[in-house]
Structure 1
Amino acid sequence: MQLVVVVSVFQSVLLGVRACPSLCTCVNGSHGTEELRLVQCSDPGISAVPVNAPPDTVKLRLEKTSISRVPRAAFYNLSQLQFLWLAYNSITSIHPSSFLNLKALRELRLDGNLLSAFPWEGLRDMPRLCTLGLHNNRLSSLPAHAALFLPNITYLDLSSNRLTVLPAELLDLWFPLQREWGGAVQRRVLGLHDNPWLCDCQISMVTSLSMSLGSPVILMDQLLTCSRSLGQSGVLLTQADLSRCMRPSVQPAATKVISPLGSNVILRCDATGYPTPTLTWIKTSVYTNCCQQSETSSNSEQLPRNLESFMQESPRVGVRWSIISLNGLSHKDAGEYRCQARNMAGTAEAPIRLKVVGIIGPSRPPKTVPEKDVFYATYCEGCPTPPHSRWRLEV
């Protein structure tokens, strides 16, 4: 009898776990040989995210409901979830920790909602996410820190929002230095159209670079419109007069410097571009040689590190130069220094290798003086010494 009760309870618990949320439909699908559980909820009477979706759900669609907010850990029990569609609801806010435990999620769609902000830091909880759809919302700005959480996103749709400018950090992420294009660069699809862009060098470079051969970015629609540029309201970006925009170009005074131990050296680089670029020095690696290899091996993990520019000046618009001064060189100063130039149109950099030569010899022990040759100076208050001195030497 007790066994029957235990089995009955177990079955009821199992049915509870497998139960489909109210006003939703749960079906089993297949992907190859893998069984997938799909849950779809599209009833206007749904006003909150269901909390009892089956834990083995792989695809969850909450569409055309009355849901207005996504609370903290809303999908915590759905660790196997790979596709989450929250399109065409009335969502106005998303908690930064809404996506906790979604380590398998690959696609998140929030199209057609009322979002004026998105918790970009929440992308850390979805390390496998590669598709993010934010089409047709009310986003008016993209914070610079968003670039920290977007490296793995290969499909990003920001179209039909209220965006006006792009931060330079996103340009650096989407368009790495052109010398890297030939390598294993990650391709991205971006939707930026139907936004009231301010026609500046930043957005202009996005469109021009996306049309370059081998570009890492593909725009869904290249016909972007300027809606807030002075005197250019409603003008297509391709028709705007942005001919002065120029990505920086960096020219170092020397690409390789060899200097003796203990000497002083000055590293200089010049940059051109419009708007006038800013310059930053970064030490990216340690130069190893026979004399100080063991000394630098323990420090290489701490690099790169920013270096202060001791002097920087712009003699005219579009030109800037910068120097750093290294005094009393040691083997720790050897390595590769990079001069980085940045403006609204992009970034560029140039390396300078510094090699420090010379060997630090063994220190000599201090010369010992025989005791009989040591003189002691003592102060004598009442001794008959010359007027100009009151010190007496004793042997």
Structure 2
Amino acid sequence: MQALVVQGLSITSTCAALHKSRGEPAINQRSKGACEQGPSIVTPPKDIWNVTGAQIYLSCEVIGIPTPVLIWNKIIRGQYGVQRMELLPGDRENLAIQTRGGPEKHEVTGWVLISPLSKEDAGEYECHASNAKGEATASAKIHVVETLHEIALTKDDGAEL
């Protein structure tokens, strides 16, 4: 292994160089490869507007080392902010959760599929990733309307149909 020379010091890994530059305690290299890092959101879910009865999905991509675990929650808000989180899929017959590794190494992609969409499905959904080094979250809202005409009247830019 070749050593990296940083400010006159010989360092044998980029992880060690990173720790040294931050003034953190020295680390011992246990294996070759990328440094451990907390999850980060690569592609967050996007807000969706659609009509009752439609089939919709939210997707989320996260990356971290070690590879993160991805879960989905529905955020239930009360008068004073977040009241509770509903871990999905729960007991919902019209909702499915799917996760897979990739598309890159240490990356996970997850989806929430809802079919048929109902008014009760409207709300905020959170993609939550965690590993031994930390956590990351991203959320999107599902807006449910009765007719396509309502979407044109109320939809914000940046949302998807």
Structures share fold, TM-score greater than 0.5: yes
Q: Determine which of 85, 88, 113 is the counterpart of 1:307.
A: 88
1:346 and 2:137 are equivalent in the alignment: no
The CA distance in 1 between the partners of 2:27 and 2:136, in whole Å, is 27
2:36/2:66 contact within 8 Å kept: yes
Flag the structure with more relative contact order, 1 or 2, with Cα contacts below 8 A and sequence separation at least 6.
2
The CA distance in 2 between the partners of 1:332 and 1:273, in whole Å, is 33
The CA distance in 2 between the partners of 1:258 and 1:346, in whole Å, is 32
SS in 1 for 2:120: helix
1:150-192 CA-partner distances (Å, limit 9, x unpaired): xxxxxxxxxxxxxxxxxxxxxxxxxxxxxxxxxxxxxxxxxxx
Task: Supply the AA of the counterpart residue of 1:305.
Answer: E
1:282 and 2:73 are equivalent in the alignment: yes
Pairing of 1:365-384 with structure 2 (within 5 A): none
Shift of 1:331: 1.4
1:202-259 CA-partner distances (Å, limit 9, x unpaired): xxxxxx7xx7xxxxxxxxxx7xxxxxxxxxxxxxx52323751111111345421111
The CA distance in 1 between the partners of 2:87 and 2:52, in whole Å, is 23
Task: Supply the AA of the counterpart residue of 2:60.
Answer: C
The CA distance in 1 between the partners of 2:27 and 2:113, in whole Å, is 46
More helix by share: 1
1:94-136 CA-partner distances (Å, limit 9, x unpaired): xxxxxxxxxxxxxxxxxxxxxxxxxxxxxxxxxxxxxxxxxxx
2:88/2:97 contact within 8 Å kept: no
Shift of 1:260: 1.0
Task: Supply the AA of the counterpart residue of 2:137.
Answer: E
- Going from structure 1 to structure 2, the CA distance change for 1:336 and 1:276 (only over 3 Å counts) comes to same
The CA distance in 1 between the partners of 2:124 and 2:43, in whole Å, is 13
The CA distance in 1 between the partners of 2:117 and 2:105, in whole Å, is 34
Poorly superposed stretches of 4+, deviation over 6 Å: none
Q: TM-score, normalised by structure 2?
A: 0.61
Pairing of 1:241-260 with structure 2 (within 5 A): 241=29, 244-252=35-43, 254-260=45-51
SS in 2 for 1:239: coil
2:45/2:127 contact within 8 Å kept: no
Cross-structure match for 2:93: none
More strand by share: 2
SS in 1 for 2:142: strand
The CA distance in 2 between the partners of 1:280 and 1:320, in whole Å, is 11
- Going from structure 1 to structure 2, the CA distance change for 1:253 and 1:264 (only over 3 Å counts) comes to farther
Pairing of 1:161-180 with structure 2 (within 5 A): none
Higher Cα Rg, which structure: 1
Pairing of 1:47-62 with structure 2 (within 5 A): none
The CA distance in 2 between the partners of 1:305 and 1:253, in whole Å, is 19
Cross-structure match for 1:233: none
1:239 and 2:27 are equivalent in the alignment: yes
Q: TM-score, normalised by structure 1?
A: 0.26
1:313/1:320 contact within 8 Å kept: yes
Cross-structure match for 1:323: 111
1:322-347 CA-partner distances (Å, limit 9, x unpaired): 11111111111111101001111110
CA RMSD of aligned residues (A): 2.9
Cross-structure match for 1:266: 57
